[in-house]
Amino acid sequence: MAAKSIMMAAFNSPIIHRLQVVVTKTQQTFIYESDELTALVSTLHQHMKYYGYQNVQLPALADVEIFRGRAGDQVIANLVTVSHFGRQLALRPEFTALAAHRYTKLYGDQRKTVRWQFNGSVFRETAHQANQQMSLGAELIGLGVSLADAEIVSMAVLGLSKALDMTNLRIEIGHIGLIRNCLSQFQLDKRTERFLLGHLSELAYDKLSPDELINHFEVMMTAGQDKASPEQSSPRPDDIAQEARHMLDIMLDATRSGATMGGRTRENVVRRMLQKRQRLAEIGRFKEAVHYLYQLTHISDQPNEAFAEIRRLVSEDNSAAQQDLQEWQSIIELVIAYGVDEGHISIDPGLLRDWNYYTGIVFNIDSSNGIRLGGGGRYDELIEFVGGNEHVPAVGFGYYVDAIMECKEPSSSPKIDTSILFLTWDEHVEPVLIVQWSKMLRDAGMNVFIQRDSITSDVPNHNHLHLTVDGQIRYQQQSYTFNDLTALIEGIAAQ
Amino acid sequence: MNTKYNSYAPVTLALPSKGALAQPTLNFLQDCGLAVWKPNPRQYTGNIPAVEHLDVMFQRVKDVVYKVADGSAQLGITGLDVVREYADENVMVIHNDLNYGHCQLVVAVPEAWVDVENIADLADVALDIREEQHRDLRIATTYTTSSRRFLHENGIHHFSLVKADGAIEAAPTLGYADAVIDLTQTGTTLRENRLKMLEDGTIITSQACLIANQQALEQHPQLMRVVKILLEYIDGALNGKRYYQLSANAAAESQEQIIALLSKYHVTADAHGVSVVPASQDGNRYTLTLSVLKRDMLAVVEYIRQLGGNQITVQPVRFVFLDESPTYSQLKTKLQPAQPDPTPDR
């Protein structure tokens, strides 16, 4: 009865429910493929080590605020959270926020340049299940020059193309800082800007036309208000002041009759009401911004051609955007100088990744058949956001190891690791003999895998030892006693 | 999963023991000809004499879902809202339109928030609260899973859910939440607590539903036999509620003439249970009976009058049985590969 109660309590718990983790390929791999995974991770680690990146261990479970603070909406929506004695925790959805947090803990207000690399499982909720995937990445914190961006982009690309021999990669590079600075010329309210950036991918990849996006904005802004035409609903300052008085009257009346305010004040409500009306007044500028961004995000070409088109669209008076453009070009030149094939690079101003997380360049690396293998970008505000120095720049990337494993050519057969010896035995062999033989072989530096069942046909003969009931090992049609151990080891080594 | 059910054991139907669905469920089953027999009011078990091998257990609405999920009960009646919130992949909704226990799970904010009319406004307010007060928008609810899913899907990411089990509408007044997500039937309780629903803030439109343990359904023909009987009663009764049975006397030369006249009007042509029998010895008057949709009743009355009919009486219909229960047909399709038709008990 007690056991049943416990079982039901566990079942009833939303926490347990939400933690039914679905493991992806890297967690399901067969033992020999797991060696391939280890080799892949080790190769990429070594590759990054050449650039001076140190291994760091970051926690799998951390305070939810570390991830929610500045993570993109998509990351927040897909967080796998648990409640632990009233504290909200989350399984890491990625490493960057944890790295920023670690940096702040270690260096406080100082600015120090660090190069860190890490790997492990990351967790995201997809289709209402926690999904576990393998990630491997690096962060370069404290260096804000183009060289740093170029180092990260090229290290990420060359890790796949040179260290793992993956060919025909496609690298898309965008610049969220440039987009933001171009948008600033339209002087939009910050929520209108957020709305626009939130829908920019749909605009860039033709999931929404400019007119549909404008219509969407108008519907949202006019919902619950008089359904006047946008032109008519653009309020004049006098109207706004009159409306403010009217709203205050309503609010005061409501308060007198005991209305609840939740956690907001009357001033909060009135201010937002007015801001909402103000946004409607911006509709003309919003439309201009949408059409401008539509043009800008529909440029996608090789660097020289793309930059010529972008330059045409970026106002000469917008010095911040001009500076971003110059920086972007400089990064591409350096990436090419690092040895990344220019023909594989595509400049894509519509590439945003998580726009409220990144502040400068953003990039994706895809396989020739369009599978996303990794990506990253610059995030200069994150360290400040997690409590560190406001002037600490940072750039980083992550590999999607599951996707890389899927795209990578399978290793040549046989898959069996030849250093493993499979030791089987006859039915009546004394267990102590099995232990003695395996110990002696292991002491001699052999990897011994004792296996009661018969071995599979893909194990080569020279990896198979069989212990007979008389205590002798049969190997390659010869029998060996304890006294013949040296001969046996030499025989194995000769294979 | 071990469903805890074997083909020799009686099937168990879990029903709500308390709350808004408890008595309406018993009334509904009685209307369907499936009256529940309970040895005494304080006992949590019973049976339905109309269906052999069918036991009943009474549980809280939430526990009905858990019992079906873990196979302790193979069937259950509860609210769709509860199923969406607590069910796992073992729970299958067999009938989602039992037509009682209607309610909605809605987002509601203080009436005084005159700047908030829709979910986009609430998303904006969540950002305001985050930026100005450095905290999350707090929402009180019992339905944390459905709420979390809905809020994220609608662009609200900075929120914290305050789990509460009762008097949720009072949370903003008491100060421990800014807004609520709660069940409502008419919105009266929300209004009385000075809250308003958002125009696009309906998360679930709910009513009572019949659920089953999917694995048990797939593995046990005996269970499918019981389900078939239940669904015949339920679909028959729900269908019956949509119909009236009309009887009238009419003068005609023959039965065939009346049938021909009825078939000329599309409503009477499609009517169920048409019968025409002589009403007098001389063979000139006939009594016709037919079942028509309630919405067509007056049109049919008028048509029968035009044919010279009189003494028209109308009665409710208790059951309308089609060739097979439509819900049972759909269930068999869902449970592909196709289930063999259960051999009727003899």
Beta-strand pair B179-184/B103-110: antiparallel
Give Dmax (Cα) for chain A: 105
Q: Across residues A459-465, what is the average pLDDT?
A: 81
pLDDT band at residue B338, thresholds of 50, 70 and 90?
Answer: low
Could you give the CA distance from residue A470 to residue A473 in angstroms, rounded to a whole number?
9
Q: Across residues B1-16, what is the average pLDDT?
A: 74
Nearest CA in chain A to B124: A191
- Interface residue A237 vs chain B (CB under 8 A): no
Q: Return the higher-pLDDT residue of A352 and A434.
A: A434
Nearest CA in chain B to A8: B66
Nearest CA in chain A to B120: A220
Structure-block tokens of residue B298: 């007056």
C-alpha torsion sign, points B316, B322, B325, B329: negative
Q: Across residues A20-40, what is the average pLDDT?
A: 60
**Residue matched to tokens 């529940």:** B36
Those of residues 110-139 in A touching chain B at CB distance below 8 A are: 128
Q: What's the pLDDT tens digit per position in B75-121?
A: 999 999 999 999 988 999 999 999 999 999 999 999 989 889 899 89
Asked if A347 and A300 count as a contact pair (C-beta separation under 8 A), the reply is yes
A433 Cβ contact partners less than 8 Å away, ≥ 6 residues apart: A425, A467, A471
Asked if A297 and A203 count as a contact pair (C-beta separation under 8 A), the reply is yes
Nearest CA in chain A to B146: A128
For the entire predicted model, the pTM comes to: 0.73
Using omega within 30 degrees of 0 as the cis cutoff, is the peptide bond preceding A414 cis? yes
Contacting residues of A for B87, CB less than 8 Å apart? none
Q: Which of A170-179, A449-458, B63-72, B238-247 has the lowest mean pLDDT?
A: A449-458
Contacting residues of A for B149, CB less than 8 Å apart? 128
Contacting residues of B for A254, CB less than 8 Å apart? 111-112, 194
Whether A223 and B115 lie within 8 Å, measured CB to CB: no
pLDDT beyond 50 at A16: no
Q: Across residues B43-67, what is the average pLDDT?
A: 94
Interface test with A, best of B62, B88, B113, B129 (most A CBs within 10 A): B113
Q: What's the pLDDT tens digit per position in B282-308?
A: 778 899 999 999 999 999 999 999 988
Query: CA dihedral in degrees (B203, B206, B212, B215; nearest 10)?
Result: -20
B243: part of which helix (H) or strand (E)? strand B243-251
The per-residue pLDDT of chain B, averaged, comes to 90
Q: Across residues A83-88, what is the average pLDDT?
A: 80
Give me the amino acid identity at B5: Y
Nearest CA in chain A to B71: A8
Sheet of B208-213, strands arranged across: B45-47, B54-59, B11-16, B75-79, B208-213, B91-95
Q: Return the higher-pLDDT residue of A277 and A15.
A: A277
- Interface residue A223 vs chain B (CB under 8 A): yes
Could you give the CA distance from residue B115 to residue A270 in angstroms, rounded to a whole number?
7
Nearest CA in chain B to A256: B112
Chain B residues at the A interface, defined by Cβ less than 8 Å, are 62, 66, 69-70, 88, 109-115, 117-118, 120-121, 124-125, 127-129, 132-133, 135, 138, 144-145, 149, 152-153, 155, 157-158, 160, 172-173, 175, 177-179, 193-195, 199-200
- Interface residue A454 vs chain B (CB under 8 A): no
Beta-strand pair B179-184/B137-141: parallel
pLDDT beyond 70 at B233: yes
Whether A262 and B144 lie within 8 Å, measured CB to CB: no
Contacting residues of B for A276, CB less than 8 Å apart? 115, 121, 124
Structure-block tokens of residue B40: 């005494």
Q: Across residues A205-223, what is the average pLDDT?
A: 85
Q: Across residues A199-208, what is the average pLDDT?
A: 90
Q: Across residues B191-205, what is the average pLDDT?
A: 93
- pLDDT confidence of residue A19: 43
A159 Cβ contact partners less than 8 Å away, ≥ 6 residues apart: A44, A47, A48, A399
- pLDDT confidence of residue A255: 61
- Interface residue A68 vs chain B (CB under 8 A): yes
Interface test with B, best of A83, A260, A269 (most B CBs within 10 A): A260
CA distance B71 to chain A (A): 12
Q: Return the higher-pLDDT residue of B161 and A252.
A: B161
Could you give the CA distance from residue A381 to residue A471 in angstroms, rounded to a whole number?
69
Nearest CA in chain B to A72: B157
- DSSP, collapsed to helix, strand or coil, labels residue B253 as coil
pLDDT band at residue A189, thresholds of 50, 70 and 90?
Answer: confident
pLDDT beyond 70 at A273: yes
User: Considering only CA atoms, which of A324, A329, A321 is closest in space to residue A345?
Assistant: A329
Interface test with B, best of A67, A215, A264, A268 (most B CBs within 10 A): A264
- pLDDT confidence of residue A70: 65
Contacting residues of B for A250, CB less than 8 Å apart? 114
Cα dist from A463 to A39, A424, A437, whole Å: 21, 11, 15
What does chain B come to in residues?
346
pLDDT beyond 50 at B1: no
- pLDDT confidence of residue A158: 95
Structure-block tokens of residue A147: 């060289």
Could you give the CA distance from residue B249 to residue B261 in angstroms, rounded to a whole number?
14
User: Considering only CA atoms, which of B70, B4, B51 is closest in space to residue B229?
Assistant: B51
**Residue matched to tokens 């198979």:** A464
Q: What's the pLDDT tens digit per position in A361-416?
A: 999 999 988 999 999 999 998 888 888 877 789 999 999 999 998 888 765 544 44
B162 Cβ contact partners less than 8 Å away, ≥ 6 residues apart: B138, B139, B140, B141, B171, B176, B177
Q: Across residues A28-56, what is the average pLDDT?
A: 82
Q: Return the higher-pLDDT residue of A462 and A307.
A: A307
Could you give the CA distance from residue A52 to residue A114 in angstroms, rounded to a whole number?
9
Q: Return the higher-pLDDT residue of B15 and A30.
A: B15
Nearest to A76 among B125, B157, B178 (CB): B157
The per-residue pLDDT of chain A, averaged, comes to 82
Q: Across residues B247-259, what is the average pLDDT?
A: 89
pLDDT beyond 90 at A151: yes
B56: part of which helix (H) or strand (E)? strand B54-59
- DSSP, collapsed to helix, strand or coil, labels residue B179 as strand
Whether B124 and A191 lie within 8 Å, measured CB to CB: yes
Size of interface A-B (CB pairs under 8 A): 102
Q: Across residues B171-193, what is the average pLDDT?
A: 92
- pLDDT confidence of residue A217: 86
Distance spanning both ends of chain B, measured CA to CA: 32
pLDDT band at residue B55, thresholds of 50, 70 and 90?
Answer: very high
Structure-block tokens of residue A166: 């993956």
pLDDT beyond 60 at A26: no
The stretches of A350-409 forming alpha helices (DSSP H) are 382-385, 401-407
Contacting residues of A for B192, CB less than 8 Å apart? none
pLDDT band at residue B280, thresholds of 50, 70 and 90?
Answer: confident
Query: CA dihedral in degrees (A178, A179, A182, A187; nearest 10)?
Result: -130
Helices A146-158 and A319-337, axial angle in degrees (round to 10): 40
Q: Which of A380-389, B136-145, B229-238 has the lowest mean pLDDT?
A: A380-389
Asked if B206 and B183 count as a contact pair (C-beta separation under 8 A), the reply is yes
- pLDDT confidence of residue A21: 47
Q: What percent of chain B is predicted at pLDDT more than 90?
A: 62
pLDDT beyond 60 at A29: no
HSE-CB at A125 with a 13 A cutoff on CA atoms is: 22
Could you give the CA distance from residue B124 to residue A276 in angstroms, rounded to a whole number?
10
Q: Across residues B150-164, what is the average pLDDT?
A: 89
Contacting residues of B for A266, CB less than 8 Å apart? 112
- pLDDT confidence of residue B343: 53
- pLDDT confidence of residue A417: 53
Those of residues 7-46 in A touching chain B at CB distance below 8 A are: 7-8, 11-12, 14, 17-18
Whether B179 and A73 lie within 8 Å, measured CB to CB: no
pLDDT band at residue A125, thresholds of 50, 70 and 90?
Answer: confident
Interface test with A, best of B117, B157, B213 (most A CBs within 10 A): B157
**Residue matched to tokens 């991770």:** A41
Contacting residues of B for A73, CB less than 8 Å apart? 155, 157
Whether A262 and B120 lie within 8 Å, measured CB to CB: no
- pLDDT confidence of residue A15: 37
